[in-house]
Structure 1
Amino acid sequence: MPHFTPTRALIVLASFILLSFLWTWGLPHQYAAPVLPALTDLATQGKPAAGQLLPEPLVENAGEEINGHGKGTPTTLKTEIAPVPTRAADVGSEKSCKEVRGAQDVMVVVRTSRAEVESGLPPHLLKLLACAHHVLIFSDHAGEINSYPIHDALDLTPKATIAKHAEFIEYDKMQADKNYKPTLEKAKALDKWKWLPMVYRTATMAPNHRFYMFIEPDTSLSWTNLLQWLDRLDYRIPYYSGVPNTVDDTRYAQRGPGIMLSYGALQQYWPRYEELYASDWEPQVATACCGDVVLARAMKQARVEFYSSFGLLDPEMPSNLIWGQKFWCTPVVSWHHLPRAHADLLWNTQEAWTRKHGWAKPWTHYDAYETFVKSYLAELKEDWDNVSSDTQLVAEKGRREKLTQQKQPANATPNDLKDAHTPLNAAKRDEAPDALLQAAADSPASCRAMCLQTDDCLQWKHSSAGDGACHLGKALRLGGKVATPDKAARWTSGWVLDRVGRLAEEWGRCEQVEWKFNQ
């Protein structure tokens, strides 16, 4: 009998198929694990020392440079990043801000100008940088500020580009005279040229960090919330994230509240920069309004997706923010446009928070409301604009004169408000008299009465300018004090405190925190 028969061949084939199926789906076995080397420790200990804070760029085969932007073939960077660790237990309040989990994984990058840092970095920013292990500061000049080296973000710009564009006139003056200080307005014209090379140089100078937070001198960061946020993300995913805005068809991250880039994003960005900057990206900078807009276009070409972190990052200061349920339980990672005194107060508040709660409990918008807003709300605040803007009721022309002739007060004093402090009864609500609407702009008292008459009104403001105006608001905002040297044009504001209190109770105390991106 022959050794090889059709029957035996079928048996062998069937056995092979069965073993293949079991290997793929049924038998336990171990796949080759991806090897991710350990993160190189580039930390400097204690206060930042004078001189170079970062090592030389880890670059191989950089080759010759053409026009200061590489050869067009991507540079090979030695990047060493540790695997994503499991989440740690609560970090106690005894830890210093430099010892907190994740602090060594973050590079803080500050974009500034000689005009902005003429008198030094603001105190809140110095405190933030003292907590960071890794810091880069880019400007329109090279030098040093508060013991930190300043890197010239424009020093790779081709000479032909500098000669061609008027914005670089101020740059040439600064290069020629180390003591020359441009005005803030002239310095801002150079900002758009900094962003693309600044991000590229960050990638080449400090390639082995998990996350990069790009901020401005007037960006206020919560260090504890920043570290807790980033600890929830995978640095290998190419994240480009910030507060969204749109110019033409470009959706971009606004630079003021901060822009977060991950290791994965920079790994996709830098080779495209070397390939496209001279031929494509630089001409776009020349015609663009802003550097953050051009950065968004560059990230799109590098196939880095934009993630909105609005709510985590706030483009406004607390006084201008609309307080509502959507972001009530979202942690505050950054504010923008805070006056220096407010920024310092915010940092001190965060320090007190971590001393009390440790480094693993986030500080939410609810906590910010309780700290910075709630105590300022009142039934009446004189010389205050609370930004009520949903409905505007303007008195008819000549009404003030008519009221004067009738000997009726056109502007009530605070004591006159007692008649408006009591909510209207149900019968009057049902009637909704035209007289109340007509008189809404006559005085703060009548404006408040109109707000009480309107079910969804939370706040109001009255202007005594002209014949008077009453503004009603259904969104909760704080606003701020306004100077009114002309007593004939005075702002008076107020809130319906019981309605505001009921809403705040409904929104809750945030036992569950919302960290998600808000696409």
Structure 2
Amino acid sequence: MRSLLTPSRIIVVVITFSLVSFLWTFGLPRQLAEPSSPIIEHPADEVKLHDPIAPAPIVHTSHATIPKTKPTATLHGDRPKESGDHRWDDKTRNAGPPAEQTAVPSPKASGPAGHDADGGRWEDKEKSQAGGKTQSVVVASASPEPILELISSANITATATSTSAASYQHTAAPVKGVCKDVKNAQDVMVIVKTSKAEAHDKLSGHLQGLLSCVPNFAIFSDHEGEIDGIPIHDALHEINSETKQKNGEFREYMIIQADSEYKPDAKKTKDLDKWKILPMVYKAYQMNPHARFYVFIEADTGLSWTNLLQWVARLDYRIPYYSGAQSFINHVQFAQRGPGILLSQGAMRRYAKSYEERWVSEWQKRIAKECCGDYILATALNDAHVELYTSWPLMQGEQPTTLDYTSKQWCTPAVTWHHLDDAALSKSWELQKKWTDKHGWEKPYLHKDAFEEYVLPHITAQLDNWNNLGSDSKITANEGRQKELKGGKDDERVAKEKLEKAAGSLTHKREEKKDGIKTDNGKDTSKDHKKDDKKDDKKKEDAKETIDWAQIGKMVKDGADSPKACALVCQEVDDCLQWRYTNNGDGECHLSKVVKLGRKTENKGDSQIWTSGWMVDRIKETIKQWECKEVAWRFYQ
């Protein structure tokens, strides 16, 4: 019998065995690569960090340099424990009745002692003195006696040459009962920027309203002092003397430092604003690194406390959020300071590290060349790898009375307003209190609600000495038109008759068109127009403006003759919601497709006189179509 083990078969078996062994050794035992879950750094309390994102709060002295510490590394978990992170539950903090104002011992300065169980908040457990002066923050606890954190300064120095680094003292004050138990209040720090020229005139509304409910806040200015017992911190103190000597904006600052009784020029102190913002942001983080969110506002910024707390409850403070009402300079997008700027703890850590690396070497030189502090902050945050999340219209650069109300803003929460004087701030706060008393702290106050409070009760068919600011279209009378009306060919009575006749004719044509009635030997052909409702509606929408504007003819020409003529033109334009007339020149008629309340004007002899009016019924029908099915909290609206 022929042998099965031929040389060729043996070779095949050997090669096969070798190939299988090779694949088994180098292929099968190795696990294929899989995407891993993101790792968020949550070190344990008992172990120090090796290289934190930003150094721990340090103590500033007038001469000593800041030592940098290198803590040891530790492992971290995947996410915060649900029991320690209040974003995962809906339980409000419990606090007892407010206690009387008492002094609180200042904690000692320290490096980072680690994080708490929620994986992001620094614990200042052990603090040692540095240079004999301490910088610390009192954080209100959950004990039966809630504390309002007041970040205070040392005695005011009379001269600029004797000014030393700020030594912060802290006192406790009771928080108003209406807002002391609000969820997330302890996680937010509010920072108000002002100047000596405006502090006493513009801060009282905040102190009696918003800040009475904010557990953690600080006020920064171009001087050190206090108002109603609350400290004001000098944001410009740590700018080096060489920079102050080189830049003319600091001349007013030097006088302020030298003479505590000096009343500065508001225009000159405004030039110092751009220098305040970078050190102010850094100092705010140093004062309270425990905060999850930091909100920077101006003295004339109105802030809704309930809306802010509901908003930040939806955000993860570890994400580097930099948010506000966007604007552009030199193709750089930035958050405007007036409507307020929101920074998360994640953003502040990155910023603080970059600040210590770049403040003296780069950023001070950059400020001298640029125009605006909010623009400079955007470039500094960009250096720290923090990007802008646009939050308009939540953070709003308008007043409730000057905002153009449209469907875009209607269902968005009104977190901030701008350009509010002291009376407007007080009114805004009173409305907020009424809102929370009625609806609690879980329902947001929308722009829709602001419209119903500020605008709807005041609009009417005609209001003299009032400018409603609307101007999507403008009709300007020809030169000499008023003289022509008074003196000759076409007196005002004849002009009005012609205008009303044209308006009546146009109204009749429009009603025929809306009813879809066309006669052909007495037959109703309206059925022909109901075959395709969608196409028909679209055609009407597309043709609405062109048809209306084309057919008003003489009405447009004569619309700037008088307030009544202007009102008639608005009435005949389907999407016109309000009008305003001025005697400027020979007359101007402004028509608008959005709703604004505007402001009162004064009639001073030869000055420009304004008359305004609203299509009230048309406005009410329009806003019915803007029903809010959900609240629009999102960024990038």
Per the TM superposition, whether the score is higher than 0.5 is: yes
The answer as to 2:221 corresponding to 1:130 is no
- Shift of the 31–506 alpha-carbon distance from structure 1 to 2, 3 Å rule, reads closer
Structure 1 counterpart of 2:460, which letter? A
Say which of 34, 42, 46 aligns to 1:35.
Answer: 42
Q: Structure 1 vs Structure 2: percent identity of aligned residues?
A: 41
1:290-335: per-residue Cα shift (whole Å, max 9, x none)?
1111101001111101011111111010121110001110000011
Give yes or no for contact 2:503–2:555 (8 Å, CA) kept in 1: no
Say which of 586, 591, 612 aligns to 1:493.
Answer: 612
Give yes or no for contact 2:502–2:555 (8 Å, CA) kept in 1: no
Give yes or no for contact 1:75–1:271 (8 Å, CA) kept in 2: no
1:477-498: per-residue Cα shift (whole Å, max 9, x none)?
1111111122784211111122
Give yes or no for contact 2:205–2:423 (8 Å, CA) kept in 1: no
Q: State how far apart, in whole Å, the 2-side matches of 1:77 and 1:152 are.
A: 35
Q: Give, in angstroms, the shift of residue 361 of structure 1.
A: 0.4
Q: Give, in angstroms, the shift of residue 113 of structure 1.
A: 1.2
Structure 2 counterpart of 1:248, which letter? N
Q: Give, in angstroms, the shift of residue 411 of structure 1.
A: 13
Matched residue of 2:438: which SS?
helix
The answer as to 2:417 corresponding to 1:335 is yes
- Shift of the 357–248 alpha-carbon distance from structure 1 to 2, 3 Å rule, reads same
1:351-373: per-residue Cα shift (whole Å, max 9, x none)?
00100110000000001111111
The answer as to 2:136 corresponding to 1:17 is no
Structure 2 counterpart of 1:364, which letter? L
Which is worse superposed, 231-240 or 160-169?
Answer: 160-169
The answer for the alignment partner of 1:512 in structure 2 is 630
- Shift of the 371–160 alpha-carbon distance from structure 1 to 2, 3 Å rule, reads same
- Which of structures 1 and 2 has the bigger CA Rg? 2
- Shift of the 77–114 alpha-carbon distance from structure 1 to 2, 3 Å rule, reads farther
The answer for the alignment partner of 1:319 in structure 2 is 401
Give yes or no for contact 2:321–2:344 (8 Å, CA) kept in 1: yes
The 5 A counterparts of 1:223-262 are 223-262=305-344
The 5 A counterparts of 1:355-434 are 355-406=437-488, 408-409=491-492, 424-427=506-509, 432-434=551-553
Give yes or no for contact 1:330–1:513 (8 Å, CA) kept in 2: yes
Q: State how far apart, in whole Å, the 2-side matches of 1:77 and 1:186 are.
A: 48
Matched residue of 1:214: which SS?
strand
Structure 1 counterpart of 2:412, which letter? T
Q: State how far apart, in whole Å, the 1-side matches of 2:240 and 2:494 are.
A: 64
The 5 A counterparts of 1:36-185 are 59=57, 70=66, 83=85, 85-88=87-90, 96-118=178-200, 121-185=203-267
Give yes or no for contact 1:245–1:254 (8 Å, CA) kept in 2: yes
The answer for the alignment partner of 2:428 in structure 1 is 346
Q: CA RMSD in A?
A: 3.6
Structure 2 counterpart of 1:132, which letter? V
Matched residue of 2:232: which SS?
strand
Give yes or no for contact 2:320–2:343 (8 Å, CA) kept in 1: yes
The answer for the alignment partner of 1:452 in structure 2 is 571
Matched residue of 1:471: which SS?
strand
The answer as to 2:479 corresponding to 1:479 is no
Give yes or no for contact 1:91–1:358 (8 Å, CA) kept in 2: no
Q: Which one has more relative contact order, counting CA pairs under 8 Å at least 6 apart?
A: 1
1:153-179: per-residue Cα shift (whole Å, max 9, x none)?
111111111111111111111222222
1:20-47: per-residue Cα shift (whole Å, max 9, x none)?
57x979xxxx999853668xxxxxxxxx
Q: When the two structures are superposed, what TM-score results if normalisation uses the length of structure 2?
A: 0.69
Q: Give, in angstroms, the shift of residue 377 of structure 1.
A: 1.0
Give yes or no for contact 1:393–1:470 (8 Å, CA) kept in 2: yes
Matched residue of 2:29: which SS?
helix
- Shift of the 398–24 alpha-carbon distance from structure 1 to 2, 3 Å rule, reads closer
Q: State how far apart, in whole Å, the 2-side matches of 1:423 and 1:376 are.
A: 32
Give yes or no for contact 1:58–1:77 (8 Å, CA) kept in 2: no
1:439-458: per-residue Cα shift (whole Å, max 9, x none)?
11111111111112222211
Which is worse superposed, 402-411 or 284-293?
Answer: 402-411
- Shift of the 468–77 alpha-carbon distance from structure 1 to 2, 3 Å rule, reads farther
Q: Give, in angstroms, the shift of residue 183 of structure 1.
A: 1.4
Give yes or no for contact 2:252–2:269 (8 Å, CA) kept in 1: yes
Structure 2 counterpart of 1:518, which letter? Y
Structure 2 counterpart of 1:477, which letter? K
Matched residue of 1:507: which SS?
coil
Structure 1 counterpart of 2:279, which letter? P
Give yes or no for contact 1:69–1:274 (8 Å, CA) kept in 2: no
Matched residue of 1:425: which SS?
helix
Q: State how far apart, in whole Å, the 2-side matches of 1:501 and 1:32 are.
A: 52
Matched residue of 2:209: which SS?
helix
Unmatched tracts of structure 2, length 5 or more: 1-16, 46-54, 74-79, 95-175, 511-546
Q: State how far apart, in whole Å, the 1-side matches of 2:93 and 2:284 are.
A: 30
Structure 2 counterpart of 1:443, which letter? S
Give yes or no for contact 1:125–1:217 (8 Å, CA) kept in 2: no
Q: Give, in angstroms, the shift of residue 221 of structure 1.
A: 0.6
Q: State how far apart, in whole Å, the 2-side matches of 1:328 and 1:423 are.
A: 36
Q: Give, in angstroms, the shift of residue 91 of structure 1.
A: 9.6
Q: Give, in angstroms, the shift of residue 424 of structure 1.
A: 4.9
- Shift of the 421–500 alpha-carbon distance from structure 1 to 2, 3 Å rule, reads farther
- Shift of the 244–410 alpha-carbon distance from structure 1 to 2, 3 Å rule, reads farther
Structure 1 counterpart of 2:217, which letter? V
Which is worse superposed, 214-223 or 457-466?
Answer: 457-466
Q: Give, in angstroms, the shift of residue 513 of structure 1.
A: 0.6
